[in-house]
């Protein structure tokens, strides 16, 4: 049988529910031990900051600027910045300034291997 996502999905659909869970658990196990993909981009992409940018738009721009950084590593920090803006009323420009610094710091840590 040819290896493909479609064939795997067909097999999954044919299995009883208990075996579907086992297949999914095994797939998660394999993923957890797989080597992390090496980022293809090693320099930030230059995307200018627009005037009156929203915090959400800034997060999207910074994710595009730093595609080599794993987004899950930034979820907690970006959520905190969003809360500072929405709940605490901190200005978008201040929050975005700090997010830009944080993204740059994470990039530098990634490139030097620091934690």
pLDDT tens-digit series, residues 6-32: 888 888 889 999 988 888 778 777 777
95: Cβ–Cβ under 8 A, 6 or more apart, which residues? Answer: 55, 58, 81, 82, 84, 85
Whether the pTM exceeds 0.75: the reply is no
- Whether residue 68 is predicted with pLDDT greater than 70 in this model: the reply is yes
- Stretch (H or E) spanning 41: none
Range 84-109 average pLDDT: 94
């Amino acid at each position: 049988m040819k290896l493909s996502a479609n064939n795997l999905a067909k097999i999954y659909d044919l299995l009883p529910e208990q075996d579907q869970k086992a297949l999914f658990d095994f797939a998660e196990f394999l993923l957890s031990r797989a080597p992390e993909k090496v980022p293809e981009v090693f320099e930030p992409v230059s995307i200018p900051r627009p005037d009156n940018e929203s915090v959400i738009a800034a997060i999207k721009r910074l994710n595009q600027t730093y595609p080599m950084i794993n987004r899950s590593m930034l979820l907690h920090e970006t959520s905190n910045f969003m809360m500072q803006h929405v709940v605490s009323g901190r200005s978008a420009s201040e929050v975005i300034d700090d997010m830009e610094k944080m993204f740059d710091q994470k990039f530098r840590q990634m490139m030097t291997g620091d934690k």
